[in-house]
Structure formats: C-alpha cells, structure tokens
Amino acid sequence: MRKFLIAGIAIAATLAAAVSGYRLGSGMWPDPRAWTAAPAPEAAAMPIASSKERKVLYWRHPDSDTDFSAEPKMTDDGRPYVPVYDDQEADFADAKPKQPTIDAAGPKKLLYYRNPMGLPDTSPVPKKDWMGMDYIPVYEGEDEESGTVKVSAAKIQRSGVRSEPAVMRRLARPIRAPGVAKPDERTLLTVALRADSFIEKLYVNETGRHVTAGEPLFRVYSPDMVKVQVDYRISTNATGNADERGALQRLENLQLPQAVMDELRRTRQPVITFDWPSPVSGVVMKKKAIEGMMVRAGEEMMMLADLTSIWVIADVPEQEIGQVEIGSMAKVTFRAFPNENFEGRVTFILHELEMATRTAKVRVQVANPDHRIKHEMFADVELSADAGKHERIAVPISALIDSGNRQVVIVDRGEGRFEPRPVKVGMRGDSYVEIAEGIKAGENVVVAANFLIDAESNLKAALSGFTADAPKQTPQPAAKTAIEKKP
C-alpha cells in the first residue's frame, strides 16, 4: 500500500511540473528534440579545433623583438611571453624538411641533415635543434657546383643584393692632407734706407694696410743723401756735365726715388726732404718705423707682401708622396670657408721629410685676388694624383671584401648563383679599386650585401668540410632486454 502511495505522489509531481511549464511558457508543450540539441555551457565555451595544428616555434617578449625563449616564460612585470607559430615566420617554410624527389632514375640519395638555422652543424640521422626545429635533409644533387653558392630570389630581394659589371676605367686617386696658408715668399720685400735718416712724417702707420706701388710711405731727411746731391751739383757745374756719370752713380747707389733724381737734374738744387714711395703693391706685414725716429742704414722699416697669390703648405704622408707630381691640380678648402673650393696647383715639393710626422711639405699655389685668404689659415688639401694614364679593370670599392690577408669579390653568375673569387688588388681610386687578377671586364660583381653572400659561402664550405669528415654511421643492433623470453 505504501509503494502505491509513493508512486502516485511522483506521478502527480511530474504532471504538476508539466502543467506549470505549459502555463508559463508559450502555451505549447516543449519539443523533446531541444532537450538533447542544446549544448552544455561548458561545451559552447570550448574553441573548435582547427583542421591544421599550428606549431609553436618559440616565445617572444611582448615588448622586445630581440628577447626570445624556447619555453613559456613570464616577464619581470608578470606578463606572459607571446608564442610565435610556424605560419608566422616567412623563412620557416624554407627551413622545413624537403621530401625526396623521385625522378625517372629513382629516389635521390640522402647525404646528411643540416641545421635549420644555418649553423655549422650536421647530422647523419634526423634530429631536432634546441628550439624543436627539425634538421633539414640534404639530398644528392641539391649541392650547387663547387665554389658557388645559390641564394633564393626572395632572400636576394630581402637582403638588397645589387650587382654591377666590372669595366675598364682610368683611376684618379685623390690624396688628402692638412695644410696651412702662407704668404708667397717670392713677393716679400723689405723697405730699408741705405743711409742714416730721420722719419719726419709717417704716412703708412699701421700693420696690415694695403698700399699700391708709388704710394708714399713716409717723409725722410738724410744728411748723407743731401751731401751726395750737393756733390752732384758741384761736379756738373765745374766740369760741365763731364763728371756727371760718377756723381749720378753715387745717387743711384743710395736708391733715391726717381722723382728726386728728376728734380735734381731739372733745378740743379738738392732736395732736402722728400717722400719715400712704396716700391710694390702689397700688404704691410711688419712695421718698425715710427714717426720722428732715426733709422740706421740698412735697418728694416717695413715688410711688404703681395697677397694676391698665396701658398698652402700641405703635409703629405710619406707613403703617398710618390704619387704627387709638380703641376698636379689641387682642391683646397679652408676652415673659414667650409662650403667653398679653391683651385690650386702644385708648384714645389720640398726635398726632406719631417722626422716626427714622416710627412713631406708640398707647396700649392692658390689665387687670392680679393685677399680673403689670410696667412696661417688651416686648410684641407685634396691632390689629384693620377694613378695611371692607362685604363684598368675596376670595380666599386664596396664590391671588395678585404680581410687583410684575403681579398675576395663576389661574382654574380645569374639565376641566384654567386661565386666568391679571390682577386689581386692594384691601384685604389676615390670610389673604385683596380682588380689586377681574378676577374674579367664585363663580369658582374656584387656591390651591395656581398658580406651576406660571403658568409653563406663560408657556411657552405664549413658544412662540406664537416660532411666529408663525418664518419659513416652503421646501424647498431637493438639492445637486448635483461629478461629474454626463451623458446
């Protein structure tokens, strides 16, 4: 009786729940299919697995492109490293193992496995590197011909590889040296009197003043010069010009100005004081004369120099002095005028070297009509030393890889094939270098990103060496277990 009572209560509760759902809902009984079609909340939140599984190559710092990790890691401030997948690396597709190609002759022979990151590490059996990347198999026939390296077109484009042909050209080798401006020593002139005199009036009373030829410098009175004039008058009056030649010679020995000589011949009267003219046009470099002073015979009163032409004394290194010739053109730049170039010409090479600096003094003459160039100015001199009158095979300097004991040029053989070729270097120009041996005119040489190709070639040579020296692996029998099953 009790069992029937419990069953009735359960049936009543079920009917009551159904009726309540009907009244509170849409008035219709729920579809029984909805009870099994609706997914659980946990199942709806789970991501749908992709058809292709992505492989994590490494983990990268979220703020740095140079901080990597082979395992999941946290930053110092508690943030996780970002995973980098294989489909996010452009070069990973090239690093994946290649499948052996089967041609009419059959499958190719497997030679070895090389490191996927380009390291000089090979293996006779498949393996993985520290990042979990598979080593790349190398099959027979995939090696390029000996001495060449093949680079993919994508890598050439990314690296910026550029080639130019080797051509015949004349090399002009500029020699650069520091210099100092000096006055032209051939124009220096000292103003001095040949008799004791007194300076009555000083017209040019400052150093650096520019004077012209014939311009009066000072007014002078000299008893000795007056005495010679008196002797000239007496001799001409007594002998009637018979002894005029001897007296005139004494006047010329004192270098009296021409205006004084003409006045003496005309009036036969001595000129007591007179102006002393400037013998040349130039600049007063030194001035010792003072108005009212007595000047002894031969004492320097002024020094004049013509600065319309100046010298630049350049210090050329000993190893380059052999390329400098008299008459060579030169380009001079002064520190005071950095954006201006002055043309000059080599006029002399001194016969000795400076012992301390091992440099030779080269004299360059430069025009200075407006007197802008001051003596003792610092200058940078570029001498045009012709490396030869004949044309030579030359390539841009950027094409030469010079390690000191080895000079190499990367020859572009087309279709992504490059050949590192040792060469013998000759003369060097401003932008080109002569190749005496190693290449011919017309061959294309790499002038940009050649260091990358040279590194690729060195890597290939190292891999070949490792492969040649690697002992052949013989399969080892499987190790027996400690407990063998007896028949």
Residue % of the chain over a pLDDT of 70: 72
Name the amino acid, one letter, at 471.
P
Query: What is the rounded average pLDDT of the residues 405-423?
Result: 84
For the ranges 131-145, 223-237, 449-463, which has the lowest average pLDDT? 449-463
164 lies in the same domain as 100: no
Taking residues 265-277, what's their average pLDDT?
A: 91
- Residues 191-198, mean pLDDT to the nearest whole number: 94
Tell me, yes or no, whether 135 and 158 share the same domain. Answer: no
More confident residue, 124 or 272: 272
pLDDT, average across residues 327-338: 92
Predicted pLDDT of residue 109: 78
Specify the pLDDT at position 172. 73
Can you say how many angstroms the Cα of residue 482 is from the centroid of all Cα atoms in its chain?
71
Q: Categorize the per-residue pLDDT at 306 as very low, low, confident or very high, splitting at 50, 70 and 90.
A: very high
| Confidence at residue 389, expressed as pLDDT on a 0 to 100 scale | 63
Residues 101-116: tens digit of each pLDDT: 555 555 677 878 877 7
444-461 per-position pLDDT tens digit: 998 887 767 666 666 555
**Three-state secondary structure string covering 104-150:** CCEECCEEEEECCCCCCCEECCCCECCCCCECEEEECCCCCCCCCEE
Domain-terminating residue out of 72, 88, 104? 88
**99/84 same-domain check:** no
Of 387, 392, 466, the residue nearest 436 (C-alpha): 392
Least confidently predicted of 204-218, 286-300, 326-340, 413-427: 413-427
Give the per-residue pLDDT at 40: 41
Look at residue 101 and tell me if it is in a domain. Answer: yes
- For residue 439, pLDDT over 70 is answered with yes
Q: Please indicate whether residue 180 or residue 430 has the higher confidence score (pLDDT).
A: 180
Higher pLDDT, 137 or 190: 190
Say yes or no: 315 and 239 in one domain. Answer: no
Residue 14 falls inside a structural domain:
no
Residue type, 184: D
Q: Are 179 and 317 part of one and the same domain?
A: yes
At residue 240, does pLDDT exceed 50? yes
- CATH number for position 163: 2.40.420.20
- The more confident residue out of 77 and 16 is 77
411 in a structural domain: yes
Q: Are residues 263 and 354 in the same domain?
A: no
- Supply the pLDDT for residue 416: 78
Let me know whether 284 and 423 are in one domain.
no
Query: What is the number of structural domains in the chain?
Result: 5
β-pair type (407-414, 417-422): antiparallel
Residue 35 lies in a domain: no
Mean predicted confidence (pLDDT) in 336-357: 92
pLDDT at residue 120 in the model? 59
Does residue 446 fall inside a structural domain? yes
pLDDT score of 385 more than 80: no
Half-sphere exposure of 59 (CA within 13 A, CB side): 12
235 vs 262, higher pLDDT:
262
Rounded CA gap, 304 and 210, in Å?
A: 9
Q: Are residues 289 and 210 located together in one domain of the fold? A: yes
Between 236 and 167, the more confident residue is: 167
Give the residue numbers spanning the domain of 222.
194-298
Query: Looking at residue 147, what is its pLDDT?
Result: 59
Mean pLDDT (the chain, rounded)? 77
Give pLDDT, residue 297: 93
**Residue 118: inside a domain, yes or no?**
yes
Q: Which of 2-6, 243-247, 473-477 has the highest mean pLDDT?
A: 243-247
Regarding whether 251 and 106 lie in a shared domain, the answer is: no
203 and 267 in a single domain? The answer is yes
- At residue 470, the pLDDT reads 45
pLDDT-based confidence at 331, cuts 50/70/90?
A: very high
What is the CATH classification number for the domain harbouring 231? 2.40.50.100
pTM above 0.95, yes or no: no
Least confident of 86-90, 264-268, 305-309, 377-381: 86-90
3-state secondary structure the chain: CHHHHHHHHHHHHHHHHHHHHHHHCCCCCCCCCHHHHCCCHHHHHCCCCCCCCCCEEEEECCCCCCCEECCCCECCCCCECEEEEHHHCCCHHHHCCCCCCEECCEECCEEEEECCCCCCCEECCCCECCCCCECEEEECCCCCCCCCEECCHHHHHHHCCEEEECEEECCEEEEEEEEEEEECHHHCEEEECCCCEEEEEECCCCCCCEECCCCEEEEEECHHHHHHHHHHHHHHHHHCCCCHHHHHHHHHHCCCCHHHHHHHHHHCCCCCEEEEECCCCEEEEEECCCCCCEECCCCEEEEEECCCEEEEEEEEEHHHHHHCCCCCEEEEEECCEEEEEEEEEEEEEEEEEECCCCEEEEEEEEECCCCCCCCCCEEEEEEEEECCCCCEEEEEHHHEEECCCCEEEEEEEECCEEEEEECEEEEECCCEEEEEECCCCCCEEEEECHHHHHHHHHHHHHHHHHHHHCCCCCCCCCCCCCCCCCC
Higher per-residue confidence, 371 vs 239: 371
pLDDT band at 474; cut points 50, 70, 90: very low
Residues 381 and 396 in one domain: no
Is the confidence at residue 443, as pLDDT, over 50?
yes
Would you say residue 125 lies in a domain?
yes
Residue 294 has pLDDT above 90, yes or no: yes
In a domain, 219, yes or no: yes
- Average pLDDT of 215-239? 88
pLDDT: is 289 or 481 the higher one? 289
Mean pLDDT computed over 367-381: 92
Share of the chain above pLDDT 90, in %: 33
pLDDT at site 85? 83
Highest average pLDDT, of 3-12, 19-28, 279-288, comes from 279-288
Average confidence (pLDDT) over 44-68: 67
Tell me: do 397 and 455 sit in the same domain: yes
| Averaged pLDDT, 408-433 | 84
Stronger pLDDT, 472 or 191, i.e. the higher one: 191
* Amino acid 278: pLDDT: 95
The whole-angstrom separation of Cα 383 and Cα 328 is: 7
pLDDT at 125: 86
